Amino acid sequence: MKKLIVADAVVTSAGVVGNAVLVDNGRVAAVGDRAELGRSDLVEERYTGAFISPGFRDAHIHAVPYAALLAGCSLKSATSLDDLVDRLARFAATQEPGSPVVATRFDDESLVDGRLPNRTDLDRAVPDRPAVIYRYCGHVAVANSAALDASGIDASTPDPEGGSLDRLDGVPTGVLRETAAGLIAPALARGGSLGSKALISGLERLASLGVTSVGAMIGYGEQPSEKLEAEIELWCQVARELPIKVHGITITDDPAQLTAARSALNGAGRRLRWLGVKRFADGSLGGHTAALCSPFCDVDTTGTYRLTEADAAISRTCVEMGGMVCIHAIGDRAVGGVLDLFTDLVNAGTEPRALRMEHVSVIDPTQMKRFASLGVTASIQPAFLASESAWLGDRVGPERIPWVYPFASMRDAGIPLAGSSDCPVEPPHPLWGMAAAVDRHGISPAEALLPLEALGLFTSGAARAVREPEPLSPGSAADLVVLDTDLATASPARIHDCEVLTTYVDGHALDIDRSLATWVD
């Protein structure tokens, strides 16, 4: 079936390219002016006073934990440890008696107490059963005494490779960093058990924000491996009901798991497919676990460097399987290590477009030149600027602040950029990410992008990063959004507040409740 979708203008990262999109059997036949594309026998769907843009892509999102968060407990807006304890206790009271309690998104930077919570704090909230909370960055967990006991964690427990347990007089305080979070018992893994209806509801919320495709991280790499397998099973259960496109990126260092994931995801449904593997080179700036070449300025540590030969081995396996390799690197030491690995892969014949570095938060000018020369993709999260602006300078200091999220410099160097949210670390609103890329929240304003460049992050750039064709190009899927704002001329505030009127996937307007476009803190 052919139809013409018409608005005041069609706006892409290239600017205004017409005012109509001709759709044929769910695919883009042409983009241009209605006067040239219209016919008397052609069905028109008209939006007066509105603007068409390509569907938004989020190249890096944790969709299952996001869906779980919507029905769970977020601690992000807690202002003190007493407030956090009270919120956690009230949430625990709503759960089945005796069942483990899991909450997410606590932010120690927002607590007036000026410290991380510990097992004693959580014991006040949940004294009678296991409980664990996760920092909003996802790289620090805190467990109560019952959770530590249930997981067999005590003074004799060694720090695992790539992680650490905070201790006081040799006794674990309950704070677990990086891979140490994997020591927590399976019943306390973040995301918990999620039903298919809840996951579909979460994806519908993403569609209400104009998101038409995601690069979905599957599993957290925590022990045991059943966590990854359970998420793959869940995705396969919902594959034929997906409202948007899902490209699965599996977190594993096991070749057998990678092979099984590819087989399961690729055969489940037309909107679900396997994309590749994700690994970690370090942690987060907020949790002081990002791997830096020189120590943090507010804590005497250079963070946690996690890259090993196992990561190189699974990367080679993934490339041989035809997949993409996506490696998390935030600090400049981690960025350098991943560049070394990617250089080896490219020299061995890997196509650079098959390689992605996730986050790239701190990168020095020399590394930027290496990055650009390789031609690999940087998957970036502009929304990090919004949440980190209050403390970022204290973490890295004045000498390194120009190296933090240098989007304009990366653009000028020729590094392919892809936009994403890392939700539930940050809200999954692409428009909020675009606004942050233009506004910068006071961090190195010269590194701001222009509005159309910001739009390109979440359309052309992210599409490339999940191996989709150029959005709105002839023959591509007719995935687009109708907005109440012209993103070519909008201010950052107007971009942030822009309303998504309609989301099209495969040429069909989704029947979605617009009130779903909410966020949980």
Question: What is the DSSP annotation of 334-358?
Answer: HHHHHHHHHHHHHHTT--GGGEEEE
Contacts of 467 (CB under 8 A, 6+ apart): 247, 275, 324
Question: Do 227 and 172 share a structural domain?
Answer: no
Is the preceding peptide bond at 224 cis, omega within 30 degrees of 0?
yes
Q: Could you tell me the pLDDT band of residue 193, with boundaries at 50, 70 and 90?
A: low
Evaluate if residue 187 carries a pLDDT over 70: no
Same domain, 300 and 424: yes
**Is residue 224 located within the same domain as residue 168?**
no
Q: What angle do CA 210, 330, 408 make, to 5 degrees?
A: 65
Dihedral angle over CA of 224, 187, 204, 208, nearest 10: -100
What size, in residues, is the chain?
A: 521
Determine if the peptide bond prior to 243 is cis (ω within 30°).
Answer: no
What's the CATH number where 183 sits?
3.10.310.70
* 188-197, 220-229, 248-257, 472-481, range with the lowest pLDDT: 220-229
pLDDT tens digits, 19-30: 999 999 999 999
| Residue 25 in domain | no
Are residues 392 and 337 located together in one domain of the fold? yes
Angle at 173 between CA 170 and CA 175, to 5 degrees: 125
List, for residues 139-174, the tens digit of each pLDDT value.
999 999 999 999 999 999 999 999 999 999 999 999
Q: Are residues 418 and 288 in the same domain?
A: yes
3-class SS at 148? helix
Tell me whether residue 205 is in a domain.
yes
Does residue 222 carry a pLDDT above 80? Answer: no
Q: Are strands 480-483 and 500-505 parallel, antiparallel or unpaired?
A: antiparallel
Q: Are residues 201 and 180 in the same domain?
A: no
Q: How far apart are the first and last CA of the chain?
A: 43
Rounded mean pLDDT, 279-303: 97
Question: Residues 199, 148: one domain?
Answer: no
Task: Say how many domains are in the chain.
Answer: 2
Residues of the domain holding 183 = 77-135+139-188
Rounded Cα distance, 107 and 136, in Å: 6
Q: Is residue 80 predicted with pLDDT exceeding 50?
A: yes
Examine the domain organization and report whether 200 and 184 are in the same domain. Answer: no
Q: Same structural domain for residues 154 and 238?
A: no
Q: Is residue 138 predicted with pLDDT exceeding 70?
A: yes
CA 316 to chain centre: 24
How much is the average pLDDT of 234-260?
Answer: 96
Instruction: For residue 247, tell me if it sits in a domain.
Output: yes
CA distance 271 to 61: 16
Crossing angle (nearest 10°) for helices 309-320 and 332-347: 40
Task: Express as a percent the part of the chain with pLDDT over 90.
Answer: 89
Both tokens of 141, joined, read: 């967990």
Contacts of residue 240, defined as CB under 8 A and 6 or more positions apart, other chains included, come to 268, 269
Alpha helices in 248-388 (DSSP H): 255-266, 309-320, 332-347, 365-374, 383-388
* Cα–Cα separations (whole angstroms), residue 206 to 15, 93, 106, 163, 515: 25, 29, 23, 32, 12
Is the pLDDT reported for residue 206 higher than 80?
yes
| Reported confidence tier of residue 521, pLDDT bands at 50, 70, 90 | confident
User: Is residue 131 domain-shared with residue 144, that is, in the same domain?
Assistant: yes
Going by C-beta distance under 8 Å and a sequence separation of 6 or more, which residues neighbour residue 39?
none
Tell me the pLDDT tens digit for each residue of 428-476: 999 999 999 999 999 999 999 999 999 999 999 999 999 999 999 999 9
pLDDT, average across residues 255-271: 96
Q: Is 519 inside a domain boundary?
A: no
Q: Is the pLDDT of residue 49 over 50?
A: yes
Give me the pLDDT at residue 517, please.
Answer: 63
* Residue 276 φ/ψ, nearest 5 degrees: 170, -150
Contact of 228 with 252, CB cutoff 8 Å: yes
pLDDT at 311 over 50: yes
Rounded CA separation 377/354 (Å): 8
Are residues 196 and 95 both part of a single domain? no
Q: What is the mean pLDDT of the chain?
A: 94
| 166 and 207 co-located in one domain | no
CATH code of the domain covering residue 228: 3.20.20.140
**For residue 167, is it within any domain?**
yes
**C-alpha to C-alpha distance for 350 and 347, rounded to whole angstroms:** 7
In a domain, 24, yes or no: no
What distance in Å separates the CA atoms of residue 383 and residue 26, rounded to the nearest whole number?
32
Of the candidates 32, 37, 14, 477, the residue with the CA atom closest to the CA atom of residue 271:
477
Residue 184: per-residue pLDDT: 86
* Average of per-residue pLDDT across 79-107: 94
Residue 176: inside a domain:
yes
pLDDT for 223 equals: 46
pTM: 0.93
Q: Residue 32 falls within a domain, yes or no?
A: no
Between 71 and 453, residue with greater pLDDT: 453
Average pLDDT over residues 366-382: 98
Stretch 64-88: mean pLDDT = 93
